[in-house]
Amino acid sequence: MGCRQQRVLQFLTFVSCLLAFTSSAAGQIRLAGSGSTQCSGRVEIYHSGSWGTVCDDTWDLNDAKVVCRQRGCGIAESATSSAQFGPGSGQIWLDNVACSGSEHYLTECQHNGFGTHDCGHGEDAGVVCSAPQIRFAGSTSCSGRVEFYYNSEWGTVCDDNWNLSDAKVVCRQLGCGAALEATSSARFGQGSGKIWLDNVACSGSESSLTECGHNGFGKHDCSHGEDAGVVCSGEKCLLYSYQNIDKNVLN
């Protein structure tokens, strides 16, 4: 690919990253900090145009449960305190978070009100969740056959009713930017084992695939010839932030 084409592609990727980011960010959470992984880290929540942290006052396993669920990261193993993943910066958005553990979003839990706190970043809260619940197989890190982890087993997703709204959720959950395509008929090869999800019906605003409607785990009328896949704009989206936008567009 020529240099010029590459730049155009980079720019388009950037624009779709930005769109994915701004159209869906409110109330979104991410896991950040030193030693963080896709499913563990300092909890950061997006509110009023910026990412901020959560204070560890009253932070416990019920709160971590909700974060792990919202991120599609399985079971909460621990709720960390005292900036275990390093201190964040900027706003401390939430304090005295009190989830019952059954909420789907952290914003549904009780708290002091956004920005009302008596904390410092040395008290930043974090989570350790068991594992990511989805992955791409059969291709690159930001496209491929969608595989879903349930009941200690990786399985596939059927392409019945699979569309761009579902793909959007997958790309978001894996930090892969915008959804470019929802693929069907095992485009990325056939998986094996369980077919966990069928008739997935996301609206597109969910933060993880488990929040979307479906037949029920393992209930389907499909074969692996119908395995669903996704093409996302790219893994680089994870690295984009307001701070390095200029650098990335201009060079």
Ligand X SMILES: *[C@@H]1O[C@H](CO)[C@@H](O)[C@H](O)[C@H]1NC(C)=O
Options 76-84, 91-99, 148-156, 228-236: segment touching Ca ion (CB under 5 A): 91-99
In the complex with Ca ion, the residue whose CB is nearer, 95 or 206, is 95
Choosing from 96, 161, 184, 248, the residue that interacts with ligand X (CB under 6 A) is: 161
Residue 79: CB minimum distance to ligand X, A: 35
Of 104-123, binders to Ca ion (CB under 5 A) are 118
Residue 204 CA to residue 215 CA, distance in Å, equals 18
163 counts as binding ligand X under rule CB under 6 A: yes
Residue 182 CA to residue 195 CA, distance in Å, equals 17
25 counts as binding ligand X under rule CB under 6 A: no
Residue whose C-beta lies closest to ligand X: 201
- What is the torsional sign of CA 107, 84, 62, 119? negative
Choosing from 38, 57, 101, 114, the residue that interacts with Ca ion (CB under 5 A) is: 57
In the complex with ligand X, the residue whose CB is nearer, 70 or 215, is 215
78 counts as binding ligand X under rule CB under 6 A: no
147 counts as binding Ca ion under rule CB under 5 A: no
184 counts as binding ligand X under rule CB under 6 A: no
Element holding 247 (H helix, E strand) = helix 245-250
Residue 206 CA to residue 167 CA, distance in Å, equals 11
Residue 183 CA to residue 201 CA, distance in Å, equals 15
> Any idea what the Cα angle at residue 241 is, between residues 238 and 247, rounded to 5°?
110
Residue 201: CB minimum distance to ligand X, A: 3
101 alpha-carbon distance from chain centroid: 19
Options 28-36, 108-116, 117-125, 157-165: segment touching ligand X (CB under 6 A): 157-165
Residue 122: C-alpha distances to residues 31, 84, 86, 126 (Å): 16, 9, 8, 12
Rule CB under 6 A: which residues touch ligand X?
Answer: 161, 163-165, 201, 203
